[in-house]
A and B are shown apart, each in its own frame.
Chain A
Amino acid sequence: GENVEQHPSTLSVQEGDSAVIKCTYSDSASNYFPWYKQELGKRPQLIIDIRSNVGEKKDQRIAVTLNKTAKHFSLHITETQPEDSAVYFCAARRTTDSWGKLQFGAGTQVVVTP
């Protein structure tokens, strides 16, 4: 089955700096890679996703890059703000999985200090 590894487990950044979280996946049949943000005491929410036919996707201050050959994808947050503090989860889904199951990484606790 799919295995997703996420690094780092914690990330502390100064406000205004950039943050990068990296994930690797094992199953070359995976074709959909979402990123979820979970603020303290809240539900996980999708912030950006990318499909295997795209190398990069941006949405304002966040971007995701995908390297299919190396089987890794990354989340980039620029100009970080205190409200970016949260746990971020990457995930992968196999193209052949009709159940829509996601394999999640272990999460990255991001702390943005003013």
Chain B
Amino acid sequence: EADIYQTPRYLVIGTGKKITLECSQTMGHDKMYWYQQDPGMELHLIHYSYGVNSTEKGDLSSESTVSRIRTEHFPLTLESARPSHTSQYLCASSPPRTGSSSEQYFGPGTRLTVT
């Protein structure tokens, strides 16, 4: 089934650890995004990508990095996790822009807790 997947769904990790949050979509979308969201709160764009080997930083400054080596895969990495990184991370994708649809499809999210 065409969808957008995120793993892990929940992660509790100690300060200083390196972590990678995985995001994959099987919808053939070219554009992908990472948002940071505290529960029920505003969505903050932290990274986005137009396609393979194309990544940009979003509006909210983040210490994370991303890569886009394959169209369907857009992982986010934190080299050294800190308690301030505790949040929910949502991945999203959208199709090539057409006259009819500009929808962003969201993954289920990864809830990260750094102790």
Contacts and interface: CB of A to CB of B under 8 A. Distances in A.
Interface stretch (B19-27, B38-46, B65-73, B76-84): B38-46
Contacts of B42: 89, 104-107
Interface residues of A, number: 25
Given A43-B90, A106-B41, A99 B56 contact: yes
A98 B94 CA distance: 12
Report, as a range, how many residues of chain B touch the other chain. 20 to 34
Interface string A20-41: 0000000000001010001010
Nearest to B32: A100
Nearest to A98: B97
Interface string A79-114: 000000001010001000011111111110100000
Nearest to B42: A106
Interface stretch (A11-19, A44-52, A60-68, A69-77): A44-52
Contacts of B94: 100
B97 A100 contact: yes
A38 B108 CA distance: 11
Nearest to A104: B43
B90 A99 contact: no
B15 interface: no
27 contacts: A1-B59, A34-B104, A38-B40, A42-B108, A43-B90, A43-B106, A43-B107, A43-B108, A43-B109, A44-B106, A46-B104, A87-B40, A89-B43, A98-B97, A99-B48, A99-B50, A100-B31, A100-B94, A100-B102, A101-B45, A101-B48, A102-B45, A102-B104, A104-B43, A105-B42, A107-B41, A107-B42
